[in-house]
Structure 1
Amino acid sequence: GHLPNLARIMTEGKSYHLTSTIPSNTPVAWTSMTTGQNPGKHGIFGFLKYDYPTIKVVSSQDNKALCLWDYLGQQGKSSVIINLPFTWPPQQINGLMACFDWAIIDNESKLAEPASVNTYIKEQLLDRIASFHPELGNPDLERYHEIVKKQTQFTLDMAKQFEWELLFVVFMVTDSVIHLFPTRKQMVNDVYRLVDTAVGQLLDLIDMRKDRVFITSDHGTKIFDRAYPVPAFFREQRLLRLKTTPRSSAQLTLINLLRILERYPVKLPTSIKNLYKKITGRQSTRLSLRDIVDKQRSPIFLCDENSRIDVLLRLTDRSIANEDFKERMRKRIVDQLNLNETVIQHAWTSDEIYSGPHVGGAPDIVLEMAENMAADINSSSFYEKPRSYPSLKGGHVRNGILLVAGNSISPAVDRKTAHITDIAPTLLHALQLSIPLNLDGQVLQDLFEPDSTLGKPPKYIEIPTQRSETSDKDLTAYTRDEEEQMKARLQKLGYL
């Protein structure tokens, strides 16, 4: 077959349909996987953190829950964690933590703990290893090959240099190729083959008769052929109001004209581009709602992420509305959204899908779009009906995959369903470690042979699962320039 190593795992072990988070975006999904907890307990609800009026890109500093490697460290076990999204800045753990795809790359940046590994990364890997840095240009197949090759060799070297009970490595190339080249089927297939070859090399590190391998995605991917401009709905409901200044009107008119022209194979004259830049002060025709919406006159706030809506209702005295009034309005909006069955599969309030001490940072409303439909929250056009969106890149869906093989794994023909939060407690049990009582995920007990040691009931223990307030004091947040750099990456990939 085309992916012989993955096929081997599926044949020799067990596979699951994996249900991801709501929304199924990168920071929410990976953090939920490694903490075993829902976003209400770890505090990450998307790529951005909204502490109005401040909006910042999330980092490892925003994860308020303990992770797999923390529980291993508490029980005297070591981990090697490589390129797990949003673990930058890296924290000190019992073992190694290195992150380069979702990291700030410069001469001063710390990409690994212990710091001694930084020199290796910067001298041997940095020119080719990161796949999520648009400032380096779109990768071609040759660069993808180099990325996978370098990252695989780095993993092999670190696996020999450090002792470990858990080796956790993430290849982001399978995600970036879908976002950047969704219609180039051959390119996508070639990148998956590259990663399958890397899997084969990494399998040589372990003895499947004694060890176990877990292969998982954080979500699935899909090419969406239509998009629904959500702002049109809210403008019709008189919940979003546009700025009416001459400058904002000129910006909107010119941007809409250029966006129409961009749909056709017409090369825009430099004079038009220069005029656009002069009037708008922008290089891109991708317009954020914050540029055109009058926040003082609009009862709701649509965020830059495509699944998040915050209801910042205001009374006539311009103060924030009381909670009862806000709750009634939120329910009204959700009920109206759920009537649009052709474009919206479901709209949730935050308390329907999240629980825990950090729910206060959650969006008021979260959308899951219908089949083949993407949410266009950033639309400046305010169309009233769903429309084709020919330039839309590939996106995420909630259905992913989990493959497991090795010692004490019970092969099975039928494929069952697992939730992404089940992975952390299942890994802890596979390592014969105690599991915190209040994780949301459950051990996948049917994974293990009934008569094996792992077939026995898991051992639970009542221990804290939240980070202390001082545990992240040494982590460095993004500077202003770094914030803009990260937002540029997210925009290029279609997340913002």
Structure 2
Amino acid sequence: MSARHLVIGLDGADVDVIDGLGDDALPAIAALRRRGAWARLESVQPPATLPNWTTFLTGVDPGRHGVFDFTTRDGYRVAFTAGTVREAPTIAARLDAMGWRCACVGFPGTWPPEPLANGVFVSGWDSPVAFEADRSFVHPPSLHDAMTARFGPMRFDDVDELAAGKPGWHQRLPGLLTERVEHKTELARWLLGREAWDLFAFYFGESDTAAHHLWAFHDPRSPRHRPGAPFALANVYRALDRAVARLVAEAGEDVEVTLVSDHGSGGSGTTVLYLNRLLAELGSLTFAPGGSRAVSLAKDLALTALPPRARQAVFSLAGRALPGLVESRARFGGIDFSQTRAFSDELNYFPGVWLNQVGREPKGFVRAADRDAVRRDVAQALKALRDPWTGQPVVVEAWPREELYEGPFLDRAPDLVLRLALRDGYSWNLLPSNGPGPVFTQLPPEEHLGRKGRSLPGSHRERGFFVAAGPRVAATGEVDAHIADASATMLARLDVAPPPDAAGRVLFEILDELGTSAASLPDAELVRGAGDEAEVEARLRALGYVD
């Protein structure tokens, strides 16, 4: 069979890595770039996984789709929700309402699968299921049976990222990721061959996993550099290039192709910032006696001492409420909120600050009338912070959330969203304070290779990767584009007008041919999953994505 439009998601794929490897190493990607348009794709701020993929898949702003992180916060209570709180249907579901045949396979933040009447939907790795995907993971459920019979169980525990400190783990990782890419490519080819698809979207996360864990081997300039595997990251990118070549060939010669990543990748430095300790030093936060160090240490021991399936079983058996309570205590249990104006989740991939507001938080301290002034003062104090070793700024942006997002779910974003400086090209590490202590430290050498949930040698960058090629795309070369523009332009190439609430614009400058009329994109019923919180957190923790 074939596809009118083939979308290949390459999580964390980075232009500088691709250019550094060169056209000979990645011939399929190079060929698409030559005959089409490409961009250093601007991510939603911050360049985190869930808000960016959800923006691409829905076409709307995070303030409208409501997914900012793997967790949502209610007062000082954290719940593990992942994509179960998504407030907008995917583009695939809206095209399905037009009678089109669509496939959406493997993207994060897509559980439960949308029940497409004319296509297939396979949820991503954050889905609340066991390590072998069950029928609730796939729509229609009968497709799960056919997939399993042909390819075996769809598994996610083949790479235990919390075991990164064990001898030989990094040396084995490139081979494991390459095997996974090859296995997924065969699955994608099989699905492509089953139907004449209007839209076929398939996700590969291996580029992101490789960059996070293998950057210190790839980059000789990295302050965390380790010798011994200089081609490890390159080999994973080569495997992905082979996958692109095979899927483009399978889709047919007239296929429209989109390659897209949610963010770019780069190196992490060795400098550490403890944001809640900084807020305490600024007089905006007060720690409670005892802190949260004991909870964090117990949680850390459980995560590293148990194998993946045992970790998942423990967190699942603990009950629906306990996982969020443990995480809430680890993040916020050491804070005296009765004397705190501002506080942070201290998420390395999503640096932000919340105000402790009267009427919103249970022990609010900041009056609503003072909110804007307090937020402005905190932002100015953060931007005045200087690196104690270089004298350079540490926080280069402190955006009020209203400057970044719009929509009815704006309140799910932190009051301030931060951009931390790059120090000699390498990112700062934001780690949990767990009580009073120094604001700045250096990672000891034994922690330079990190592990998932802590500080990894590779980190996210705010420019991802985008390629458009096909009969309707001119050989334009490099253009400037946002991840939401990739969605809008994908619709235009299918002769469908982006909806009025679309976050992006159509990149008309790259289009060589358009149809004479554009269909309107209909609404689609929103599918919401209740989502057993213990199951969601067990999946994310046992796979090592959150800590």
Same fold per TM (> 0.5)? yes
Number of the residue aligned with 1:362: 413
Q: Which secondary structure state, in structure 2, belongs to the residue aligned with residue 164 of structure 1?
A: strand
Alignment of 1:378-389 (within 5 A): 378-380=432-434, 382-385=437-440, 387-388=442-443
Q: Which secondary structure state, in structure 2, belongs to the residue aligned with residue 352 of structure 1?
A: helix
Which is worse superposed, 160-169 or 124-133?
124-133
Number of the residue aligned with 1:343: 394
Aligned partners of 1:132, 1:241: CA distance in 2, in Å? 42
Q: 1:359 to 1:403 in 2, by over 3 A?
A: same
Aligned partners of 2:195, 2:338: CA distance in 1, in Å? 55
Q: 1:297 offset after TM fit, Å?
A: 3.3
Number of the residue aligned with 1:274: none
Alignment of 1:134-145 (within 5 A): 134=160, 140-145=173-178
Aligned partners of 1:199, 1:212: CA distance in 2, in Å? 13
8 A Cα contact 1:345 1:370, kept in partner:
yes
Which is worse superposed, 16-25 or 233-242?
233-242
Q: 1:41 to 1:460 in 2, by over 3 A?
A: farther
Q: 1:128 to 1:73 in 2, by over 3 A?
A: closer
The alignment status of 1:292 with 2:334, answered yes or no, reads: yes
8 A Cα contact 1:133 1:489, kept in partner:
no
Q: Which secondary structure state, in structure 2, belongs to the residue aligned with residue 407 of structure 1?
A: coil
Q: Which secondary structure state, in structure 1, belongs to the residue aligned with residue 337 of structure 2?
A: coil
Q: TM-score, normalised by structure 1?
A: 0.82
Q: 1:460 offset after TM fit, Å?
A: 7.5
Aligned partners of 2:63, 2:542: CA distance in 1, in Å? 26
Alignment of 1:324-335 (within 5 A): 324-335=369-380
The alignment status of 1:157 with 2:201, answered yes or no, reads: no
Aligned partners of 2:202, 2:497: CA distance in 1, in Å? 23
Out of 455, 458, 468, the position equivalent to 1:404 is 468
8 A Cα contact 1:243 1:294, kept in partner:
yes
8 A Cα contact 1:91 1:113, kept in partner:
yes
Aligned partners of 1:197, 1:155: CA distance in 2, in Å? 13
Number of the residue aligned with 1:76: 99
Number of the residue aligned with 1:445: 508
Which is worse superposed, 129-138 or 235-244?
129-138
Q: Which secondary structure state, in structure 2, belongs to the residue aligned with residue 180 of structure 1?
A: helix
Q: 1:374 offset after TM fit, Å?
A: 2.5
Q: 1:192 offset after TM fit, Å?
A: 0.7
Q: Which secondary structure state, in structure 1, belongs to the residue aligned with residue 179 of structure 2?
A: helix
Q: Where does the alignment leave 5 or more consecutive residues of structure 2 unmatched?
A: 1-23, 165-171, 219-230, 302-328, 386-391
Number of the residue aligned with 2:144: 118
1:243-271: CA deviation from partner (whole Å, max 9, x where unpaired)? 214xx59849x97xx99xxxxxxxxxxxx
Alignment of 1:214-293 (within 5 A): 214-225=258-269, 226-245=271-290, 248=291, 251=294, 288-293=330-335
Q: 1:388 offset after TM fit, Å?
A: 4.8
Q: 1:319 offset after TM fit, Å?
A: 4.8
Q: 1:123 offset after TM fit, Å?
A: 4.9
Aligned partners of 1:160, 1:313: CA distance in 2, in Å? 55
Aligned partners of 2:157, 2:352: CA distance in 1, in Å? 26
Out of 491, 516, 539, the position equivalent to 1:486 is 539
Q: 1:115 to 1:251 in 2, by over 3 A?
A: closer
Q: 1:132 offset after TM fit, Å?
A: 8.2
Aligned partners of 2:481, 2:76: CA distance in 1, in Å? 38
Alignment of 1:390-469 (within 5 A): 390=448, 391=450, 392-393=455-456, 394-413=458-477, 415-449=478-512, 452-453=513-514, 459=518, 461=520
Name the amino acid aligned to 1:166: L
Number of the residue aligned with 2:120: 96
Q: 1:133 offset after TM fit, Å?
A: 5.9
Number of the residue aligned with 1:187: 232
Q: Which secondary structure state, in structure 2, belongs to the residue aligned with residue 309 of structure 1?
A: strand
Q: TM-score, normalised by structure 2?
A: 0.75
Q: 1:133 to 1:122 in 2, by over 3 A?
A: farther
Aligned partners of 1:216, 1:318: CA distance in 2, in Å? 43
Name the amino acid aligned to 2:334: I
Aligned partners of 2:293, 2:518: CA distance in 1, in Å? 64
8 A Cα contact 2:127 2:536, kept in partner:
no
Number of the residue aligned with 1:33: 56
Which is worse superposed, 385-394 or 27-36?
385-394
Q: 1:396 offset after TM fit, Å?
A: 0.7
Name the amino acid aligned to 1:119: D
Q: 1:463 offset after TM fit, Å?
A: 5.7
1:1-54: CA deviation from partner (whole Å, max 9, x where unpaired)? 111111111122211121001111110000111222211111111221112243
Out of 269, 281, 305, the position equivalent to 2:347 is 305
Q: 1:174 offset after TM fit, Å?
A: 0.6
Which is worse superposed, 178-187 or 9-18?
178-187
1:399-432: CA deviation from partner (whole Å, max 9, x where unpaired)? 111111110211024x121001111111111011
Q: 1:74 to 1:347 in 2, by over 3 A?
A: same
Aligned partners of 1:134, 1:478: CA distance in 2, in Å? 23
1:54-88: CA deviation from partner (whole Å, max 9, x where unpaired)? 32223332111132112312322121111111112
Q: 1:55 to 1:289 in 2, by over 3 A?
A: closer
8 A Cα contact 2:81 2:536, kept in partner:
no
Q: 1:198 offset after TM fit, Å?
A: 0.8
Q: Which secondary structure state, in structure 1, belongs to the residue aligned with residue 402 of structure 2?
A: helix
Q: 1:298 to 1:115 in 2, by over 3 A?
A: same
1:431-450: CA deviation from partner (whole Å, max 9, x where unpaired)? 1123212212100101111x
Q: 1:297 to 1:122 in 2, by over 3 A?
A: farther
Aligned partners of 2:163, 2:95: CA distance in 1, in Å? 38
Aligned partners of 1:403, 1:249: CA distance in 2, in Å? 45
Which is worse superposed, 415-424 or 107-116?
107-116
Q: Which secondary structure state, in structure 2, belongs to the residue aligned with residue 5 of structure 1?
A: helix
Aligned partners of 1:409, 1:151: CA distance in 2, in Å? 28
Q: 1:384 offset after TM fit, Å?
A: 3.1
Number of the residue aligned with 2:156: 130
Number of the residue aligned with 1:276: none
Query: How many residues of Structure 1 are paired with residues of Structure 2 in the alignment?
Result: 450
Name the amino acid aligned to 2:532: Y
Q: Which secondary structure state, in structure 2, belongs to the residue aligned with residue 151 of structure 1?
A: helix
Q: 1:292 to 1:120 in 2, by over 3 A?
A: farther
> Percent identity among equivalent residues?
21
Name the amino acid aligned to 1:62: V
Aligned partners of 1:351, 1:150: CA distance in 2, in Å? 43
Q: 1:361 offset after TM fit, Å?
A: 1.7
Q: 1:197 offset after TM fit, Å?
A: 0.8
Number of the residue aligned with 2:313: none
